[in-house]
Amino acid sequence: MDSILVEKSPPLSGEVRISGAKNAALPIIAASLLCDSPVTLQNIPNLADISAMERLLCSMGMETRYERDEGTLEIDPSRVRWLEAPYDLVRKMRASFFVLGPLVGKYREAKVSMPGGCAIGARPVNIHLKALEDLNIELEVEHGYVVADGSAMRGGRVHLEFPSVGATENAICAAARAPGESVIENAAREPEVTDLADFLVAAGAKIEGQGTSTIQIQGVDNLSVDSYSIIPDRIEAGTYLAAAALTGGTVQATHCREKDLTAFLADLRNTGCEVNVEPDGGLDKITVSRPGPIQPVSEIVTLPYPGFPTDLQAQMMALLCLAEGTSIVKETIFENRFMHVSELSRMGADIRVEGNSAIIRGVKSLSGSPVMASDLRASAALLIAGLVAEGKTEVLRVYHLDRGYEKIEQKFLGLGAKVERVRAAVPSK
């Protein structure tokens, strides 16, 4: 398994171009199943998770063409043969579960493996299933699979007990082609959910309220759109901007959107950073610099959008490890998203976990060491911690990073970081 060797680096400086959003691309690729003709998706990042979703669609008989360098993915949904998402594919990437709504929405049937849990939590799908049942879809869970019968499905009132991103996305896709009107209450408001809805509207769906907690949908019989461009990845942008803050440099993230990062940028300012936003042709250039010491933040609480994003919690914690005082980070979205704490502590951080809160007492410096994480955002946090740690840090299991960060070492090298991918020795025969 490859690893990334990180050395203490000078303050990062320069521009980094932000790629398309993984968490918008995945549900939109799944939703292309709903279309009746080929669609070309643009601004698609070159990521392992995108390849995994492409493999899933191909396993159903769809034809695809993924031009990684151009960032385009052509999908022809007209040749679907099998309405099944097998365990072997779903277990490797839980976002595969997002094909359930589109399959039953278009074909009125589906058989999708239950996704397993993962390192950050059990990640059940009860809210997804309840949402589909609210649309009169009959579901059976047998032998680890969800078997859906949508022969009697119709629009209806869907109330989500929690604004789950994935459950909202599955519900939107099923309702988009369900006869009649649907209302999704307590819907997730994440920009990626809005992008999915906007993609379907571009294909002729009748959806209103995306981005708010109440989404109205009028089912239609046909959906078709030639091409659609994915929004920028706010989590990737936040990761590089956190690295700028941590190293005390000045970094400009281009082709991103400030409105997707308001909570994160507000807390970055609270740590003593300067944040400048420059509109640039419908997108933004966001520049972060840190003129003085890192200030502690009394409490950062992860919340559903527009609150502080859980996917930037680990990166913010890495920054607070070197603050001049004590900060608290409270994780309210996932039940086990502090695995990076033990690894940061091995690097010399002073962090104590009490329930779903981490108390971070700033230290003067970190020391490099071999570290590993079991989720892609924690891995990113350990990489940026390595940029300021004395000596060398080797981030193991770099496949986590490759799932969610396109060209990560090239982009960091472009900012002056001392990083190098170390290829695992291929075991001799």
Candidate residues 158, 231, 316, 333; the one interacting with ligand EPZ per rule CB under 6 A: 333
Do 18 and 205 meet the contact criterion of CB atoms below 8 Å apart? no
Task: Please count the residues of the chain.
Answer: 429
Exposure pattern of 179-193 as b/e (b: 16+ CB <10 Å)?
eeebbbebbbbbbbb
Segment lying near ligand EPZ (by CB under 6 A), choices 29-37, 122-130, 264-272, 392-400: 122-130
Nearest distance, CB of residue 255 and ligand EPZ, angstroms: 19
Contact flag: residue 128 with ligand EPZ (CB under 6 A): yes
Nearest distance, CB of residue 279 and ligand EPZ, angstroms: 26
Contact flag: residue 406 with ligand EPZ (CB under 6 A): no
Candidate residues 100, 341, 404, 408; the one interacting with ligand EPZ per rule CB under 6 A: 404
Candidate residues 124, 144, 292, 391; the one interacting with ligand EPZ per rule CB under 6 A: 124
CA distance 366 to 345: 9
Distances (CA, A) of 392 to 54, 337, 371, 382, 419: 36, 25, 11, 12, 10
Nearer to ligand EPZ, 25 or 419 (CB): 25
Contact flag: residue 314 with ligand EPZ (CB under 6 A): no
Candidate residues 116, 121, 179, 391; the one interacting with ligand EPZ per rule CB under 6 A: 121
Please return the burial class of 330, using the count of CB atoms within 10 Å of its CB with bins 0-12, 13-18 and 19+.
middle
Distances (CA, A) of 190 to 101, 111, 277: 18, 27, 21
**Segment 85 to 114, residues that bind ligand EPZ, using CB under 6 A:** 95
Contact flag: residue 165 with ligand EPZ (CB under 6 A): yes
Nearest distance, CB of residue 117 and ligand EPZ, angstroms: 8
Half-sphere exposure at residue 124, Cβ-oriented, CA atoms within 13 angstroms = 7
Distance of CA 234 to the CA centre of its chain: 9
118 is a catalytic site residue = yes
User: Which residues make Cβ contacts (< 8 Å) with residue 236, sequence separation at least 6?
Assistant: 18, 19, 21, 22, 404, 405, 406
**Segment 334 to 363, residues that bind ligand EPZ, using CB under 6 A:** 334
Show the tokens assigned to 12.
Answer: 């990062």
End-to-end Cα spacing for the chain:
17
Contact flag: residue 146 with ligand EPZ (CB under 6 A): no
**Segment 14 to 43, residues that bind ligand EPZ, using CB under 6 A:** 23, 26
Strand 157-159 and strand 138-142: the pairing is: unpaired
Nearer to ligand EPZ, 131 or 176 (CB): 131
Nearest distance, CB of residue 285 and ligand EPZ, angstroms: 24
Site for ligand EPZ, rule CB under 6 A: 23, 26, 95, 121, 123-128, 162, 164-167, 192, 310-311, 333-334, 376-377, 404
Q: Which are the catalytic amino acids?
A: 118
